[in-house]
Structure 1
Amino acid sequence: MVDDLIAFLRARLDEDAAAAGAATWCADAAVWRAEPSPLGARDGGQRWYIEDAMDEGVITHVDPAASDGEGVAQHIARHDPARVLREIQAHRTTVDEYDIALGAPAATDRAAYWKGHIETLREVCLRIATAYADHPGYREAWRP
Structure 2
Amino acid sequence: MNEILNFLHARIDEDEAIAKAIHVDPIWEYDETSGISGIVYECGDGAWIADKVGPVNGAHITRQDPDRTLREVEAKRATIDILTHWPKWVTPQNLIPVPALTALRHMASVYAGHPDYRQEWAVS
TM-score (norm 1): 0.73
**1:1-144, aligned counterparts within 5 Å?**
3-25=2-24, 29-38=25-34, 40=35, 46-59=36-49, 61-63=50-52, 69-101=54-86, 106=88, 111-112=89-90, 118-144=97-123
Give structure 1 regions of 4+ aligned residues with deviation exceeding 3 angstroms.
113-117
Kindly provide the amino acid, as one letter, of the partner of residue 11 in structure 2: R
Asked if the contact 2:84–2:100 (Cα under 8 Å) also holds between the matched residues in 1, the reply is no
The one-letter amino acid of 1:34's match is: Y
Question: What RMSD over aligned residues (CA atoms) do the two structures have, in Å?
Answer: 2.5
> Which of structures 1 and 2 has the bigger CA Rg?
1
**Structure 1 residue 58: deviation in Å?**
3.3
Change (3 A) 1:113 1:31: farther
| Secondary structure, aligned partner of 1:138 | coil
**Are the equivalent residues in 2 in contact too, given 1:21–1:81 (CA < 8 A)?**
yes
TM-score (norm 2): 0.83
Percent identity at matched positions? 30
Aligned partners of 1:56, 1:133: CA distance in 2, in Å? Answer: 34
Classify 1:58/1:24 alpha carbon distance in 2 versus 1 (closer, same or farther; 3 Å): farther
Q: Tell me the residue number matched to 1:43.
A: none
